[in-house]
C-alpha cells in the first residue's frame, strides 16, 4: 500500500469526523464503523500514529459515551499498540487521547486503561526511567504518563494501588508509591515550559494533595507525600501566589513543522475542546480552598505532634508565605 495515499485517506477520515455533528454519530454511522480499522493500520506500522491518535481523540470528544460503549476494546487495542512503542513526539499525540478520555471519564477511563494493561505499561516505563534503565523513555514522555495518572488519581486516589509494588529488573529494586510521588515532584513542570504547563501544574498539585489525609480511606501515597512536604508546599505556593489558575489552556501538541495541521472542522473541534475545558473539574476547582481544606484537616488525622514534625521539614519562609496567602484568602 502507498503510505502517502494511506495518510491522505486518514486525513480525509479525520476531516469528515471533525465536520460531523457532535453527539450524533448516527448521522455518520459509517465513520463510527471505521474505527475498527485503526488497530490493523497500526499493526502494519507506526508511521500513521499521529493522525490515528487525532482520530481517536476526536471520536471521544464528539461522541464520548456512545463511542466508548461500542469501541472501548478497540481503543484499548489501539493504545496497547502505541504506548511505550513510539518516539517522544508521537507520545504527545497519545497524550491527547489520554487527556480526552480521562478529562471526560476519569474513573471509567482509568478502569479502561487498567483493564487493558496500559496503566501498567506506563508505570513500568516510569520505573525504567527512574532507575535509568537502558533505552528507557525520556522525561518528556514521563510527563505525559504522569499527567494521565494524575487525572486518574484526582478522581480516585486508590485507583492504581493494585499496581504496586512494581519490580525493576535491572536494579533489583521495586517502583512503588514513594518513587511515584518523588517522580511527580522531581519532574514538576516549570511555569514557562509550554502553554499547557499551567494545567499540568495544577493537576499534579491536586493529585499530590489528594494523597494527604483526610481521605476516604488510608492511601498508600500518604506517607511518601508527607515525607516530601517541603517540595509540595514549595510548588503549591509558587502556583497559588502567581494565580496560575487563571487562563489555563488545554493540552496541545504545539507547533509541528513536519506535518500539516488538519484545518477542516477545526472550528467545531476548538469549540468542543473549549467546552470540555470549561466543564473540567481540574480547571473549575478552587485550588486555594482545596489546599486550605487539606492543611486544616491534616493535624486532626495524623495528630498535633506528627503534624508539627511534618511542618518542621518545610522551609520556614515557605510556611510564612503560605500562611499570609491563606489568611488573605479567608478575609477576601
What CATH class does 3-326 carry? mainly alpha
User: pLDDT digits over 298-327, tens only?
Assistant: 999 999 999 999 999 999 999 999 999 888
pTM: 0.92
User: pLDDT digits over 154-202, tens only?
Assistant: 998 888 988 887 766 555 567 899 999 999 999 999 887 776 788 999 9
Kindly report whether the peptide bond that precedes residue 310 is cis, defined as omega within 30 degrees of 0.
no
User: pLDDT digits over 250-299, tens only?
Assistant: 777 765 544 545 567 888 888 889 899 889 999 999 999 999 999 999 99
**What is the pLDDT, as a whole number, of residue 257?**
43
**What is the pLDDT, as a whole number, of residue 246?**
63
Position 235 pLDDT exceeds 50: yes
Kindly report whether the peptide bond that precedes residue 260 is cis, defined as omega within 30 degrees of 0.
no
Identify the sign of the CA torsion 202, 204, 205, 209.
positive
**What is the pLDDT, as a whole number, of residue 99?**
96
- How far is Cα 172 from Cα 179, in angstroms, rounded to an integer? 15
- How far is Cα 148 from Cα 152, in angstroms, rounded to an integer? 7
**What is the pLDDT, as a whole number, of residue 18?**
87
User: pLDDT digits over 88-146, tens only?
Assistant: 989 999 999 999 999 999 999 999 999 999 999 999 999 999 888 888 999 999 999 99
DSSP string, 113-165: HHHTTHHHHHHHHHHHHHTT-TT---HHHHHHHHHHHHHHHHH-TTTTGGG-S
15-47 burial: b if 16+ Cβ within 10 Å, else e: eebbebebeebeebeebbeebeebbebbeeebe
Residue 265: C-alpha distances to residues 9, 86, 225, 250, 303 (Å): 16, 27, 44, 18, 56
Q: Which long-range contacts (CB under 8 A, 24 or more apart) does 154-158 make?
A: 154/106, 154/203, 154/206, 154/207, 154/210, 154/281, 154/282, 155/106, 155/107, 155/110, 156/106, 156/107, 156/110, 157/210, 157/211, 157/215, 157/216, 157/219, 157/221, 158/217, 158/219, 158/220
Amino acid at each position: 500500500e502507498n503510505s502517502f495515499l494511506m495518510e491522505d485517506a486518514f486525513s480525509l477520515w479525520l476531516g469528515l469526523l471533525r465536520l460531523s455533528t457532535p453527539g450524533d454519530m448516527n448521522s455518520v454511522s459509517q465513520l463510527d464503523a471505521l474505527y475498527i480499522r485503526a488497530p490493523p493500520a497500526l499493526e502494519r506500522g507506526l508511521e500513521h500514529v499521529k493522525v490515528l491518535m487525532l482520530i481517536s481523540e476526536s471520536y471521544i470528544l464528539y461522541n464520548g459515551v456512545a463511542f466508548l460503549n461500542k469501541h472501548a476494546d478497540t481503543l484499548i487495542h489501539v493504545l496497547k499498540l502505541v504506548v511505550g512503542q513510539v518516539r517522544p513526539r508521537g507520545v504527545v499525540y497519545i497524550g491527547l487521547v489520554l487527556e480526552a478520555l480521562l478529562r471526560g471519564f476519569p474513573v471509567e477511563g482509568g478502569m479502561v486503561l487498567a483493564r487493558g494493561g496500559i496503566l501498567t505499561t506506563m508505570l513500568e516505563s516510569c520505573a525504567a526511567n527512574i532507575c535509568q534503565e537502558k533505552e528507557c523513555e525520556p522525561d518528556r514522555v514521563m510527563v505525559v504518563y504522569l499527567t494521565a495518572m494524575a487525572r486518574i488519581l484526582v478522581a480516585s486516589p486508590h485507583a492504581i494501588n493494585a499496581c504496586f509494588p512494581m519490580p525493576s529488573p535491572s536494579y533489583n529494586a521495586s517502583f512503588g508509591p514513594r518513587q511515584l510521588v518523588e517522580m511527580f515532584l522531581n519532574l514538576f513542570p516549570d511555569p514557562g515550559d509550554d502553554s499547557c504547563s499551567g494545567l499540568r501544574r495544577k493537576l499534579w498539585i491536586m493529585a499530590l494533595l489528594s494523597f494527604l489525609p483526610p481521605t476516604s480511606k488510608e492511601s498508600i501515597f500518604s506517607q511518601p507525600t508527607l515525607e516530601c512536604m517541603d517540595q509540595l508546599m514549595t510548588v503549591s505556593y509558587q502556583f497559588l501566589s502567581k494565580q496560575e489558575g487563571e487562563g489555563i489552556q488545554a493540552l496541545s501538541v504545539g507547533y509541528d513543522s513536519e506535518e500539516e495541521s488538519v484545518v477542516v472542522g477545526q472550528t467545531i473541534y476548538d469549540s468542543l475542546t473549549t467546552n470540555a475545558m470549561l466543564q473540567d473539574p481540574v480547571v473549575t476547582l478552587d485550588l486555594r480552598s482545596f489546599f486550605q481544606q487539606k492543611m486544616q484537616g491534616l493535624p486532626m488525622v495524623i495528630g498535633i505532634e506528627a503534624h508539627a514534625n511534618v511542618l518542621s521539614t518545610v522551609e520556614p519562609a515557605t510556611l510564612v508565605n503560605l500562611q499570609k496567602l491563606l489568611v488573605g484568602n479567608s478575609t477576601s
